[in-house]
Amino acid sequence: MGVLDLFNLTGKVAIITGASRGLGRSMACALAEAGAYVALVGRDLSALKILEADLANIGTETLLISADVSKKKEPQRIINEVLSWRSNIDILVNNAGTVVRSSAVNISEDDWEKVIELNLNGAFRMAQAAARVMLNQRSGKIINIGSVNSVLGAREVISYAASKGGILQVTRAMASELAAKGIQVNCILPGYFETDLTKGIQDDEARYEMIRRRTPAGRWGKPDDLAGAVVYLASAASDYVTGSTLTVDGGFIISA
């Protein structure tokens, strides 16, 4: 097998949550271009249909699943639908997420739970349900999407930081348990990317510029900057990589 063949995902079955826009959309396109069948999961069905049409142009077979991963029974339903479509699950990208901006002393219980249920609990349930299938296959790739806030303290996003710190530890714990069974579990830590999730910061010109200046690369990330990272962790190229974090942040963490 040549080195480029290691990155070929032809025939692999991938699930990506939060696929309708932003980082999820870009990663879904990357997996499809690498040859995978892709199950697109999200709450915005109309946006998923647009993505489905775009992927059809490159010859990719897709499955659309309208679902809210924060609901307790939804992860298993998603897994069941994918297994009805294809008989196996090779790749899970846990990308669905949200953020509520509030100070630690003022955040409401409802807002805290909203973020934790989606970003942490929902992601864990997806990983757990997928891992049960992968154990029977004795192979699989679970890719959790964390954040630079998994390891940095950031103001006014306490529930988001807690959830992303938690998903980093979920990654490490699951990787330790599943490595001997042929399953790799890794975490991507994106920095500041120009997506809907960061629109509030982008609209604050002074803060946007402060982050740009603090980033050694001198710019915010674009969604396509994650394409190579997700294909690497989804492919045979990373078969001996597990429990790891791949930081894609233009150097933001090293300058913090």
| pLDDT tens, residue by residue, 6-64 | 999 999 999 999 999 999 999 999 999 999 999 999 999 999 999 999 999 989 999 99
Report the alpha-carbon distance of residue 61 to residue 108 in Å, rounded: 42
Q: How far apart are the first and last CA of the chain?
A: 41
- Domain residue spans of the chain: 1-193+223-247
Average pLDDT, the chain: 96
For a pLDDT cut of 70, what percent of the chain falls above it? 100
192-233: pLDDT as tens digits: 999 887 888 888 899 899 989 999 999 999 999 999 999 999
pTM for this model (two decimals)? 0.96
CATH class, range 1-193+223-247: alpha beta
Residue appearing with tokens 């429990």: 243
Whether the predicted pLDDT of 256 surpasses 80: no
Other C-beta atoms closer than 10 Å to the C-beta of 200 total: 12
pLDDT of residue 214: 94
Q: Which of 160, 192, 208, 232 is catalytic?
A: 160
* Whether residue 160 lies in the annotated active site: yes
Give the H or E element holding residue 75: helix 74-85
Q: How far apart are CA 197 and CA 209, in angstroms?
A: 17
